Amino acid sequence: MSLIASLRTPRGLITALLLLVLAVLPLLTQAFDQRYLLSIGTRIVIWAIAAISLNMILGYGGMVSFGHAVFFGIGGYAVGILSHHGVASGFVQWPVAIVAATLWAALVGALSLRTRGLYFIMITLAFAQLVFYVGGGLEAYGADDGLNISRSRFPGLIDMRDKASFYWLCFALLCGTLWFCSRFANARFGLVIRGAKSNELRMMALGFPVFRYRLAAFTLSGAFGGLAGILLANEGAYISPAMMSWVKSGDLIVIVVLGGMGTLFGPLYGTIAFFVLEESLKPLLDLLRKGWGEYWQIVFGPMLVLIALYARGGIDSLFGRRHG
């Protein structure tokens, strides 16, 4: 469907408006003097990149990886450790971080993709926990407390300390990730991944070495996850094992399911909904009674159950039927 035609559908219109708001978010937060909102907006954009990367394997490929936040950690720690040792250039940090995330994904994928179902979930979780505990044991890099780092430097290109510039960088990378995902899902590679989700035996009987394609998808997904980790470390100028705890991996799955598995924009919808609900439920509950805000997930949980029961395609399915 052409871009113009897609604007005539409710889904296309909502998505276009959403992207427009995201594109000018720094201007809006400045105009209304709400700097804090820009920080949330930045985290939403970064998390959306991670969620899209998880959706590549979870949504399109049916691979339920329960350790995706590990790529936050690997991307983040690669940047943080290099920065700690005086390597400040993003031109060095970023490629190293992406390569590290890619290699780790290839290794984990090569071992875990030999299993199915619950075993796959458990193995991906186990590998993520392994890295989590290694991170917590790195005394030189703050162990459990984490480490304050200086942001990546791209001299003459972009000042990462400027909140608006950094936001726009993240937004541009989000658009790039969305673009890639839209191509990949309808390219030969994506069709093999989606076909294998639908009927693995059939795909093998057609002559596809399914394992190889799944491994490639898993690795690709890890690379984009690593990118999100780089950005997350730069956003807070801080790394800690908490960024790759299993809770974050769970949040990423929730976001993808909430937004709509195997849809292009679902992970973005899901991330926005997740953060907006978190940020608004907390103060709302605190208004009801001081201290209740901490338990916002008591309200969030039932909402997820409702989505799972009544909107199986997630938020994306609320905008009407999908085409293609």
Q: Which helix (H) or strand (E) holds 147?
A: strand 147-148
- Segment 59-98, which members bind other proteins (CB under 8 A)? none
Tell me how many residues contact other proteins (CB under 8 A). Answer: 26
Task: Report, in Å, the least distance between residue 251 CB and other proteins.
Answer: 28
Q: Does 187 bind other proteins (CB under 8 A)?
A: yes
Tally of CB atoms within 10 A around 243: 22
Minimum Å distance from CB 108 to other proteins?
20
> Considering only 8-16, 100-108, 210-218, 244-252, which stretch makes contact with other proteins by CB under 8 A?
210-218
| From 30, 34, 115, 186, residue interacting with other proteins (rule: CB under 8 A) | 186
Q: Where are the alpha helices (DSSP H) in the chain?
A: 3-7, 10-23, 25-31, 35-58, 70-84, 90-112, 117-137, 163-185, 188-198, 200-206, 210-236, 246-259, 266-288, 297-310, 314-318
- 191 counts as binding other proteins under rule CB under 8 A: yes
Residue in 150, 163, 184, 311 binding other proteins, rule: CB under 8 A: 184
Say whether residue 199 binds other proteins (CB under 8 A).
yes
List of residues 6+ apart from 239 with CB closer than 8 A: 73, 76, 77, 79, 80, 141, 142, 146, 147, 149, 233
Residues near 121 by Cβ (< 8 Å), separated by ≥ 6?
A: 64, 65, 66
Residue from 98, 101, 210, 232 that binds other proteins (CB under 8 A)? 210
- The residue within the footprint of other proteins, chosen from 128, 192, 231, 273 (CB under 8 A), is 192
Query: What tokens does 16 get?
Result: 């276009």
The pairing of beta strand 147-148 with beta strand 238-239:
antiparallel
**Does position 115 bind other proteins by CB under 8 A?**
no
Of residues 88, 175, 180, 237, which one binds other proteins by CB under 8 A?
A: 180
**Pick 26 or 314: Cβ nearer other proteins:** 314
Beta carbon of residue 219, minimum distance to other proteins (angstroms, whole number)? 12
Rounded least distance, CB 321 to other proteins, Å: 13
DSSP string, 198-258: H-HHHHHHHT--HHHHHHHHHHHHHHHHHHHHHHHHHHHTEE-GGGGSHHHHHHHHHHHHH
Give, as ranges, the residues between 28 and 57 that touch other proteins (CB under 8 A): none
- Candidates 114, 202, 312, 323; binder of other proteins (CB under 8 A) is 202
Q: What residues make contact with other proteins under the rule CB under 8 A?
A: 180, 183-184, 186-192, 195, 198-199, 201-210, 213, 216, 324
